[in-house]
Amino acid sequence: MGTTPERRRTRDAQRRLRERGADALVLFPSPNLRYTTGFDEEPSERHLLAFLPAEGDPTLLVPELYDEQVRRESWIEDVRTWADADDPTARVAGIVTELDLDGGHLLVDDTMHARFTQDLRAAAPDATFGLASEILAPLRVRKDETERDALRRAAAVADAVVDDLRALGPEVVGWTERELATEVADRLAAHGGTGVSFEVIAGSGPNGAMPHHTHGDREIQAGEPVVLDFGTWVDGYPSDQTRTLVFDGEPSERVREAHDVVRRAQQAGVDAVEPGVTAGAVDAAAREVIADAGYGDAFLHRTGHGVGLEVHEEPYLVAGSERELEPGMVFSVEPGVYLEGEFGVRIEDLVIVTEDGAERLNETDRGCL
Ligand code: ZN
Ligand code: ZN
């Protein structure tokens, strides 16, 4: 079998395990499992565990009903199945013994359900435990070319939908936020996305001043800004971008000014991105523009978050963060201004940190009209 990205990542993880003196990663259905094995499934009550030892080949323990699926999706050859009539905890204990893990240091998936960690503890009473993210987070934070390619394509789908919405223009006036959100979801699918990567945000007028408002029954009016924040999945990777649009009529001077401030802040944030710069410095670059314009108290959240197999992951662009940016990191730059009872403005693009700066994944117009 050729080298898949998942196989390469597993080899990297195994090297890190050996460097740390740890003996195995034990994963369960999660982004970590998908990252290393290619197998993607929701957690359930059934035992589905991957044992990635520091040396040698990984072992997957899966319910029999997943047998074919796991063989199709994963590069791992040692797949053990158990039937519903079997005792899966005995199977776990058998693998622990076979891999000689009792007495070792095991790094378990951060989100593993307690019942499965308890089975591991019972099977390896002399082992010590840590979290898989100790090994995998530093790997996952730097996206490889396969991941970057999927993120670019997901961003292009979101951009295409923004262009569609802009073209609809006055037609949108009178729709409810909910209707607009449904239209967004339909168009994301029509342009090749799979589902939505989070609930579509369509915050019209005063609703836009609540960063977490998703959508409701309010009707969109001419002249008011609508915060549109949405994304979709492409090959397991999400898009996440925001534009604040006025669909018809003239925005007020106050809307124009706030929109311009956010746009300049967003540009300043993107311009600040390069390897070696801290996440906190990017936050500061965007925040300073907003503060200088007198809207400092209206910028209610961090400037951005990492995006990868999860829509929110490391690194977080938060005030004071000393975390240094590295080539291959992907995150959002999304400053906003939220004026209670009036309106909100947010502009968000995803960027990849390159060797000497940033590659912006969203290129669609950032203006409000
Ligand atoms: Zn967003
Ligand atoms: Zn975001």
Which residues sit with Cβ closer than 5 angstroms to ligand 2, an ion? 240, 332
Q: Which of 108, 140, 172 represents a domain boundary (last residue)?
A: 140
What is the pTM assigned to this prediction?
A: 0.94
Q: Let me know whether 9 and 54 are in one domain.
A: yes
The confidence score (pLDDT) of residue 369 equals 87
Within-domain flag for 190:
yes
Domain that holds residue 346: 145-360
Query: Which ligand has the shortest distance to the CA of 347?
Result: 1
What's the gap in Å between 271 CA and the centre of ligand 2?
A: 18
What is d(CA 108, CA 103) in angstroms, rounded to the nearest whole number? 15
Overall domain count for the chain: 2
The confidence score (pLDDT) of residue 1 equals 47
Which residues sit with Cβ closer than 5 angstroms to ligand 1, an ion? 229, 240, 242, 348
Q: Which of 140, 156, 180 represents a domain boundary (last residue)?
A: 140
Judge contact between 202 and 185, C-beta under 8 A: no
What's the gap in Å between 217 CA and the centre of ligand 1?
A: 21
Average pLDDT for runs of 10 along the chain of length 369: 85 98 98 96 94 97 94 95 95 97 97 96 97 97 97 98 97 98 98 98 98 95 97 98 96 97 98 98 98 97 97 97 98 98 98 98 95
Q: Which of 111, 140, 169 represents a domain boundary (last residue)?
A: 140
What's the gap in Å between 163 CA and the centre of ligand 2?
A: 19
Within-domain flag for 369:
no
Identify the three-state secondary structure at position 53.
strand
Q: Let me know whether 108 and 182 are in one domain.
A: no
Q: Let me know whether 114 and 206 are in one domain.
A: no
Whole-number Cα distances in Å, 98 to 46, 94, 107, 115, 254: 21, 6, 17, 21, 68
What is d(CA 184, CA 228) in angstroms, rounded to the nearest whole number? 9
Q: Let me know whether 125 and 207 are in one domain.
A: no
Q: Let me know whether 160 and 122 are in one domain.
A: no
**CATH number of the domain within which 201 lies:** 3.90.230.10
Closest to 332 measured CA to CA, from 285, 278, 280, 269: 269
Query: Which ligand has the shortest distance to the CA of 198?
Result: 1
Q: Let me know whether 116 and 164 are in one domain.
A: no
Q: Let me know whether 213 and 70 are in one domain.
A: no
The confidence score (pLDDT) of residue 2 equals 55
Within-domain flag for 366:
no
Q: Let me know whether 162 and 283 are in one domain.
A: yes
Q: Let me know whether 125 and 241 are in one domain.
A: no
Burial string for 77-98 (b: 16+ CB within 10 Å, else e) reads eebeebeeeeebbebbbebbee
